[in-house]
Amino acid sequence: MTSRRTFLLSGLAALAGSSALANAPAVSLRPVARKVSSLAAGADGLKALLERAKLSGQAACAVADVKTGEVLESAGSAQALPPASVAKALTALYALDVLGPDHRFETRILATGGVSGGVVKGDLILAGGGDPVLSTDHLAQLATALKNAGVREVRGKFLVWDNSLPGVATIDPEQPDHVGYSPAVSGIALNFNRVHFEWKPASSGGWAITMDARTAKYRPEVVNARMKITSRAGPVYTYADKGGVDHWTVASKALGKGGSRWLPVRNPAAYAGDVFRTLARANGIKLDKAQQAGSLPQAQLLARHHSPPMDVMLKAMLKYSNNLMAEMIGMSATAALSGRPASLRASASGMSRWAAAEYGMTGTRLVDHSGLGGDSRMTPADLTRALVAAHKAGRLKPLLKRFPLRDSKGGIVKGHPIKVAAKTGTLNFVSGLGGFMTAADGTELAFAIFSADQKTRGRIPRSQRERPKGARGWNRRAKRLQQQLIERWGAVYGS
């Protein structure tokens, strides 16, 4: 019996002896490669989508079924990239696990030496307890409570204790001095450790400027943060710490017709003490200039203020992506878990170890709790695994804000069949998104998407990192890729 191989060989030999192979065909017999749809199932569809994004640098992603934990597809999911503010999702899980959803921070007014006849015979102490949302309004309430307690006079010093957490002058030293999203961190914070700078043309010429700790109700001027207008084109701002006082200068040519902005505070204890001293004076209590307390002595409690519960603060932290909240909450969790950390970086390392033990996130290495530092690394596989576990435990998703899907012009698509609750993350030439999506048929998926052009980011001078050239366009393309991935997963795995 003639074998199939013999048949094929003989057929080819017959063709060779004829005119069939004598000349090259006018049209190639090789199949023409068809353009793969980005919505096609399988690895080819995902690869096609990533290639068409034309995004410089690296992009990695992973998506999993929240019920089974099965990873449905991924690309570079073991690649560690900067997570940016997506790291705050992990910080929220850390705080919920270690501190609990009902935890509240406490800020206290203490007195040494006893109180007699309305007189504090020793020192008065403003003791920070790690509250990241303490405001001028809250200090005003404490000053009023002090008056209502009958205190009229303080014979000793006025001290501020902020040593419950380690102090750092700025969350990320690579950021420009003047950006309000990278303030100092310590055991006390006021108005997110930012001071309000406002300038208006003066009737007599020049400028009228104020530096204050304003809220909607109060506007106490401060002396520990000072501004000087100088005649120059640039840089816009300069900063110097002079004896614990924040000294700023601003270029006159950048002031325009007037305006305002929040500047970071670098000496939180002095700032909080300065403001409380003003508010106490308004209640008839005169205090000496605040001094920083190196330790917290035994003292009598005179007044206290409690923060909102942890779950409320975490929802706000995630919604507004507040860096200071993430750092103070993260360090407080480390302090509760293993003792006061030596530094912000040490606390972030502690959270990374916790994440490895709790969720198997062995590819995650963080340098802070907010994601502001560009040296932090996280893998899509790590985050997706943690999200699946968090979903099963009923954690995190209720705290995440809705992520709207948009049309080609950037407008929000109302009634889009895919619903997304996620945490975004944006740095210059870094974009991340991690969270949960519900497809049109009700299928729930957990996903993580990280993109970064680290070479371009590394070439940006520190002074230009607030709005570097090309960053906005790159981040816009990265966000477009995120939505395309979500729509792909909804079509492929949710129908």
DSSP notation for 102-169: T---EEEEEESS-EETTEE-S-EEEE----TT--HHHHHHHHHHHHHTT--EE-S-EEEE-TTS--BS
> What is the pLDDT, as a whole number, of residue 1?
41
CATH 3.50.80.20 boundaries in the chain? 105-307
The better pLDDT of the pair 178, 43 is held by 178
235 CB burial (10 A radius; 0-12, 13-18, 19+): middle
> What is the pLDDT, as a whole number, of residue 252?
93
C-alpha to C-alpha distance for 199 and 259, rounded to whole angstroms: 6
In this prediction, residues 367-384 reach a mean pLDDT of 98
- Res. 363: pLDDT tops 80: yes
> Where does residue 83 fall: left (phi above 0), alpha (psi -120 to 50 degrees), or beta otherwise?
alpha
> What is the pLDDT, as a whole number, of residue 462?
86
- For residue 408, CA distances in Å to 473, 479, 491, 492 come to 15, 12, 18, 21
Per-residue burial over 335-347, b = 16 or more CB atoms within 10 Å of its CB, e = otherwise = bebeebbeebbeb
> What is the pLDDT, as a whole number, of residue 381?
98
> What is the pLDDT, as a whole number, of residue 15?
28
pLDDT bin (cut points 50, 70, 90) of residue 27 is: very low
pLDDT bin (cut points 50, 70, 90) of residue 443 is: very high
**Cβ–Cβ < 8 Å for 139, 275:** yes
Per-residue pLDDT reduced to its tens digit, 399-425 = 999 999 998 888 999 999 999 999 999
> What is the pLDDT, as a whole number, of residue 167?
97
The better pLDDT of the pair 194, 32 is held by 194
Per-residue pLDDT reduced to its tens digit, 66-107 = 999 999 999 999 999 999 999 999 999 999 999 999 999 999
- Res. 43: pLDDT tops 90: no
Chain centroid to CA 201: how far? 36
In this prediction, residues 227-242 reach a mean pLDDT of 94
pLDDT bin (cut points 50, 70, 90) of residue 34 is: low
CATH superfamily to which 43-102+310-493 belongs:
DD-peptidase/beta-lactamase superfamily (3.40.710.10)
C-alpha to C-alpha distance for 329 and 313, rounded to whole angstroms: 9
- Res. 5: pLDDT tops 50: no
> What is the pLDDT, as a whole number, of residue 204?
83
- For residue 477, CA distances in Å to 370, 408, 437, 462 come to 23, 12, 20, 24
pLDDT bin (cut points 50, 70, 90) of residue 157 is: very high
- Res. 494: pLDDT tops 60: yes
Alpha helices in 173-288 (DSSP H): 268-282
**Cβ–Cβ < 8 Å for 493, 438:** no
- Res. 25: pLDDT tops 80: no
- Res. 205: pLDDT tops 70: yes
Q: Which residues contact 383 (CB under 8 A, 6 or more apart)?
A: 62, 83, 86, 89, 90, 361, 364, 434, 448
For residue 45 the two structure tokens come to 């569809």
> What is the pLDDT, as a whole number, of residue 35?
64
CATH 3.40.710.10 boundaries in the chain? 43-102+310-493
> What is the pLDDT, as a whole number, of residue 428?
95
CATH class of 105-307: alpha beta
- Cβ atoms within 10 Å of 369's Cβ, excluding its own: 33
- Res. 24: pLDDT tops 90: no
**Cβ–Cβ < 8 Å for 439, 495:** yes
The better pLDDT of the pair 377, 495 is held by 377
- Supply the mean pLDDT for the chain: 91
